[in-house]
Amino acid sequence: MEDKKCLPQAFKFIITALLLLLQCVDFSSAVEGSSANSSAVEGTSGMKEGNVDFDSEVERSSAREEGQWQLLLNNTGVVAMHMALTHHNTVIIFDQTGSGQSGYRLRRRYNGRKCMETHDDITDSSCYAHSVEYNILSNKIRPLRLDSDTWCSSGSFLSNGTLLQTGGYGGGYRRIRYFRPCENSHCDWRESKKSLSDNRWYASSQRLPEDDQVIVVGGRRAFTYEFVPKLSSTGTSFNLPLLHHTNDRNSGGNNLYPFLHLSSDGNLFIFANRHSILFNYRRNMVVKTFPQIPGGGSRNYPSSGSSVLLPLDHTDGFQKVEILICGGAAPGAYRAAQEGTYVEGLSSCGRMVISGNNHQWDMENMPGPRLMNDMLILPTGHILIINGAKHGCGGWDNARNPSLQPYLYKPKKRIGRRFSVLKSTKIARMYHSSAVLLPDGRVLVAGSNPNNRYTFTNVPHPTELRLQAFVPHYMDKQFQNRKPTNVSIYYGSSDEYGVRYGGDFTVMFRLERRPSDVLEFTAYAPPFTTHSFSMNQRMLRLRCKSMVRSEDGWMNAVLEAPPSPNTAPPGYYMLTVVNEGIPSISQWVRFFHA
């Protein structure tokens, strides 16, 4: 999406003559909105702004903003084991390469040998695409080519918007892949000639403050971490004792896909099984050891809870850093599932401030048990908990009783009033499903395949290829007069590359009526999502230094970029204007080093 220029000079003159300077006021919570009998969906960024009506009714209740569901495609062709939104407003979806026949044939195998119409070739997985690019605007799929197995791999975006993808299975254990999105639809995956030091199957990755430096942590039988690119020509990995002592060999590990979050002090929060540390990766040193999260069970794969870094705020200099972890599997759930018994999952959530000196887990309960759930930060700062199951654990055919109702979690409410239950879907999203936030405020939901091949019959939960969007209540028609529209970003004539840390930039938008006292500007780093963890997900509430409004509704706001790459690693973020809890369509902004 192109960044737009400010209005012409003549119009600026009118603004200068007529507008009243307003100070941006930040409040601790957005105004709650109630649901309407009909919902509305605004078009994706780049589309003409308009509404799409839904036929179904929504219960009116100030406590339950239920939202709506859209069916976008009946067949993506590929299971969404992994998903990531690019700054070209496309979504990269991919699966493992050994899953069988996908919906897209290839002309040639990875080794270049032609795929023929013989029986062997028709049944050969390597003659099929296992990755696609979904265009949000056109609602269409384009097949992509993967040359190594990405099963249970990890990913992070680099500062130029390229997706760095690491690890996988078999021949993909140590592979490094890149996908750089483009406008002409000719871009595709490419594989690096360099490789990882250790096998990275079920590992996690985190983009670091240093330009285009990524850390990759853990994996099955890999109790180490390493950097991409490597820090030296020797290309070594580094031992991480936390992964050794949290490994539960009788339960599939329970420390795979460790939760990683970059603290605003530049250190790395690492959570595995039930334990966590603050880690100085530059010095290979544990800075803090946090208390164990209370209660039984585990939170990491295959117990498969989820974790999110709560929004950082300019009002405290982005210094308060708080982690939320929800769901997971009960003790013994993995072994029980192997024997055909599916134990109820965990209902508990733990929340802890990792900055400062006082660290304790504050526990609370979701409306029901949940595992294999995805957690996404909505533009309002609320947390959407979606997908998953109520019994069992992660893995092939290891779970039952799908969680069809999303939960909404409001971090700034008092405990006991933070959760609400949203509108149920009819499609089970079990193992190997995922979800990502879109620029228009919807949540894209896809995947589910608890089977080791594409299997559509005679199993409890068949392979799922339908593509949905969950439409939050804030997109209802009744909120259109509060919704900021026509958002554009102006970096300044001296620099079209992006915004330097601590620098000012201008955001222009329209409001039908004067802004309320609840007007916020958020910057959101889109994650790489797989196996219930949205890697690198991050939201910041930015400082608004001044704002002016014309009589015809145009707003001109001067915002301050984050102060450092520790607060916001370099790269593309979704900038959203949120008025009284109603978000605009997001536009892309780029933060970078001076």
The pLDDT score that the predictor gives to residue 352 is 98
The pLDDT score that the predictor gives to residue 494 is 59
In a domain, 249, yes or no: no
Q: Which helix (H) or strand (E) holds 133?
A: strand 131-135
In a domain, 582, yes or no: yes
The pLDDT score that the predictor gives to residue 128 is 86
In a domain, 377, yes or no: no
The pLDDT score that the predictor gives to residue 51 is 33
| Per-state percent for the chain, helix, strand, coil, to nearest 5 | 5, 35, 55
In a domain, 448, yes or no: no
Work out how many domains the chain is built from and give that number: 1
- Report d(CA 179, CA 197) in Å as an integer: 21
Q: Is the CB of residue 540 less than 8 Å from the CB of residue 499?
A: no
- Report d(CA 440, CA 45) in Å as an integer: 6
What domain range is 580 assigned to?
9-52+477-592
In a domain, 230, yes or no: no
The pLDDT score that the predictor gives to residue 21 is 38
- Report d(CA 167, CA 72) in Å as an integer: 30
- pLDDT tens over the chain, length 594 residues: 333 333 333 333 333 333 333 344 333 333 233 333 223 333 333 333 333 332 333 233 344 579 999 999 999 999 999 999 999 999 999 999 988 888 887 777 766 788 877 776 777 778 888 999 999 999 999 999 999 999 999 999 999 999 999 999 999 999 999 999 998 878 999 999 999 999 999 999 999 999 899 999 999 999 999 999 998 766 799 999 999 999 999 899 999 999 999 999 999 999 999 999 999 999 999 999 999 999 999 999 999 999 999 999 999 999 999 999 999 999 999 999 999 999 999 999 999 999 999 999 999 999 999 999 999 999 999 999 999 999 999 999 999 999 999 999 999 999 999 999 999 999 999 999 999 999 999 999 999 999 999 999 999 999 999 999 999 999 999 999 999 999 999 997 656 689 999 999 999 999 988 777 789 999 999 999 999 999 999 999 999 999 998 878 899 999 999 999 999 999 999 999 999 999 999 999 999 987
Question: What contacts 116, CB < 8 A, 6 or more positions away?
Answer: none
In a domain, 406, yes or no: no
Cis geometry, peptide bond prior to residue 302 (ω within 30 degrees of 0): yes
Q: SS3 for 510?
A: strand
- Token pair for 248: 């539960």
Q: SS3 for 68?
A: strand
Question: What contacts 358, CB < 8 A, 6 or more positions away?
Answer: none
In a domain, 28, yes or no: yes
In a domain, 29, yes or no: yes
The single-letter DSSP state of residue 40 is: B
The single-letter DSSP state of residue 300 is: S
- Report d(CA 374, CA 448) in Å as an integer: 13
**Which CATH number characterizes residue 31's domain?**
2.60.40.10
The pLDDT score that the predictor gives to residue 18 is 37
